[in-house]
A and B are shown apart, each in its own frame.
Chain A
Amino acid sequence: MRFLFKTSYAQDIALFRHSGQRFWYGALALALCAAPWLLPDYFLSQLTFIGIYSIACLGLMLLAGFTGQVSLGHAAFLAMGAYTEAWLQSKGWPFALSLPAAALVAGVSGVVVGLPALRVKGMYLAIATLAFGFILEEGVVRAEGITGGNTGLTVAALRIFGIDFDNGRNFYYLVVAIASLCVIGVLNLLRSPTGRAFVAIRDSEVSAQSMGIHLARYKTIAFALSAALAGIAGALYAHKIRFLSPEQFGFLQSVELLMMVVIGGLGSVHGAIFGPAFWIVVQQMIVLAKDYLPPVIGQQTGLQPTIFGLILVGFVMFEPMGLYGRWLKVRIFFELFPFYRKGMFKRQKSYMKSERVR
């Protein structure tokens, strides 16, 4: 068990809380750098997908996990980023400009969607974002001039400064670099006044505004940043898949993103990476298991959604804090060994919230 004795405020603010963390994250960085040599191409490609979805999930985590605003239309922001990137690339824009542009376009659309969020909460906000998702999907189908409509759109191969990023290894490094920058950006936000304002809004809007937090302003910022991150993920997705069609960004994709975030653990940055990693690993395992299952089960069309549905139900019932919560418990079990008690994470609500001001 490690006891932290803080001797300076710099220690309070630092991203790494102690040398152990520095060591393990360093090891993780090394492993990620070495992955192309250790993994076959197929798995590297899956790892790249984890990176891309992690960026999108970071965005959704910022919004749903830290600001408490649920979005059921996040695939729309993914689409915004993907189509903007594809279109600008076809116009010959360099990646260094088209990626920020994709993030910006998605971010601005996030502000537009965020506007109803200033008025509606909870369930109604989810429905409003859901509606936006459908509208945008329909818009993509209609705007054939830019998006190719239902026939789809082929995305040009990615070249940056004359270096070919179309092969697995280079693109993998690009995704890892961008994902790391996004993680650092989100961590920076969370340790600064903006992030604390988000958390304050999530936990109690009424006291947040009594503390001088401008609710409308911070909800809008949260929506914009969240959508911009999804836009970045969308742009990378476009280059990874190299073919875009509207059904890739449908309602199901939005739900999948939300499920990844919930399974990862709402309200933790780790969760935004655990979620997609778990998702893609399980997906691969289902594909592998299909060959060994009796055909009656293995050939069923709804096998994958059913399994993910069951997993989600399991998490909501037994581990509402998601994979990150489980990770914390396992870690504390070993740190305290053999003193871990079963009820350590149980909280008692000994007080009532009756006369809340709404």
Chain B
Amino acid sequence: MTAALLEARHLSVQFGGLKAVNDVSFEVWPNEIFSLIGPNGAGKTTIFNLISGLYRPTSGEVAFAGEVISRMPPHVIARLGIARTFQNIELFEHATVLQNLLVGRHCHRHTAWWQDLFFTGSVRRAEVEFRHQVEEVIDFLGLQHYRDSLVAGLPYGVRKVVELARALSMRPRMLLLDEPSSGLNTEETDDIGFRIADIKHDLGITVIMVEHDMGLVSRVSDRVLALNLGQELALGTAEEVQAHPGVIEAYLGTAELDDV
């Protein structure tokens, strides 16, 4: 058995009286697509924020590639190779698609700001190099048409892809996708499904995904973790989790309630 790439150990976070995540533990293996499902308020996005360092856990910890990351600031975690997207797209609105993707190369920069001020030879070479790398992502996701357009004018479906592209530009080891299919139509959702599978197979990136669309979840995920009210319900393949009585209960309510 290989070592887990990401390990959450007894992770809990409390906001005032609300236990948003309560003693959740899971492991994500390298080159796996791992999905988090659960009704609204189950704590899925909170777990993402805990992994990417936006929140601090009240107790427990997250380890990435054997290193505890749950006390690190977000920018350090990003540099370790964890990229993410957001549920409500968080792009840099007043910049072009290309500039957005280039920000993704930020953690690989090696020039200092005073070199940037004079645009020295090394900055120029780095800029060309960054464009080469970003162009690969643009080709991979078919964004050539939008390369130089402002994000603010793009349709929703394209923004979703741009956000994915920006995360990929970081060349991460692990990608956190927060509801990649929300707001997309069936065809776009299918596209996203193929892309996620490609990310795993072609780029060898481990994916953790929060998703409500069970069709997409069962199509791409290797394993699924179901959560409800901050607690683990079930962990297994998509079929196993969907058949789990606790999961059915969380989504549809209990049998007794139906009787009343």
Contacts and interface: CB of A to CB of B under 8 A. Distances in A.
Contacts of B75: 209, 211-215
Question: Looking at chain A's contact residues, is the secondary structure mostly helix, strand, loop, or mixed?
Answer: helix
A221 B116 CA distance: 12
Contacts of A151: none
Given A193-B106, A211-B104, A354 B88 contact: yes
Interface in B158-192: 159, 166, 170, 183
Nearest to A13: B127
Given A185-B117, A188-B119, A9 B170 contact: no
A10 interface: yes
Given A211-B104, A212-B79, A215-B75, A185 B118 contact: yes
B170 A351 contact: no
Interface residues of A, number: 41
B78 A192 contact: no
Contacts of B152: 347
A211 to B, nearest CB: 5
Q: Which of A189, A209, A350 has the most CB of B within 10 A?
A: A209
B128 A10 contact: yes
A267 interface: yes
Contacts, number: 130
Interface residues of B, number: 51
Contacts of A299: none
Contacts of A13: 124, 127-128, 131
Interface in B126-174: 126-128, 131-132, 152-153, 155-156, 159, 166, 170
Nearest to A353: B88
Interface of B: 45, 49, 52, 54, 73-75, 78-79, 83-84, 86-95, 98-99, 102-107, 109, 111, 113, 116-119, 123-124, 126-128, 131-132, 152-153, 155-156, 159, 166, 170, 183
Interface of A: 9-10, 12-13, 185, 188-189, 191-197, 199-200, 202-204, 206-215, 221, 225, 267, 347, 350-357
22 contacts: A9-B128, A9-B131, A12-B98, A188-B119, A193-B111, A194-B113, A195-B116, A197-B106, A207-B90, A209-B78, A210-B54, A210-B74, A210-B83, A210-B84, A211-B107, A212-B75, A212-B106, A212-B107, A213-B103, A214-B75, A350-B155, A355-B88
